[in-house]
Amino acid sequence: MAEAAIKLKGKPDDILGTGRRKTSCARVRMRTGSGTILVNSRPYNEYFRNASQQNAVLAALLQTGKRDTVDLMIRVDGGGITGQADACKLGIARALKKSGEPLEKLRDNALLTRDGRMKERKKYGLRGARRGTQFSKR
């Protein structure tokens, strides 16, 4: 009964993938299409100006050869622009994994591995995470 009440936005054949990096979170919706990639309702090359960030977004698609056969709608928020690009990369790779792509192509290029590095928290008595106070002789 409760399952019938839940409705998903979008088409029922959409494949979803979630990617995270630092404090960024990307929700990827993939469907068959002509290769359109929208990030926050804008083309990916308009949203990510840097070439390395654009390459990060395209990495999983180019490795699997799906660049021109799928449409992606990505909703990304939090963090900075580089963290968002890496979050998109992981989300796209996870969506491709769900679609039935061979795992070897994705795993060999470390596209399915989440980068766990986060900002270290500030500790009391220090000026930052590790930096202490300046020594004063007098």
Phi, psi of 67 (to 5 degrees): -60, -40
Domain boundaries, the chain: 11-108
Q: The pTM is what?
A: 0.86
Q: Closest Cα partner for 69 from 34, 96, 37, 38?
A: 34
The pLDDT of residue 66 is 93
Q: Give 88's contacts (C-beta < 8 A, 6+ positions apart).
A: 19, 26, 28, 39, 56, 57, 74, 76
Strands in the chain per DSSP E: 15-21, 24-32, 37-39, 42-43, 70-77
Between residues 124 and 138, the one the model is more confident about: 124
Helices 51-64 and 81-99: crossing angle, nearest 10°?
Answer: 10
The pLDDT of residue 102 is 86
pLDDT digits (tens, 9 = 90+) for 46-90: 999 999 999 999 999 999 999 999 999 999 999 999 999 999 999
DSSP 21-32: ETTEEEEEEEEE
Name the CATH topology of 11-108: Ribosomal Protein S5; domain 2 (3.30.230)
pLDDT digits (tens, 9 = 90+) for 18-55: 999 999 999 999 999 999 999 999 999 999 999 999 99
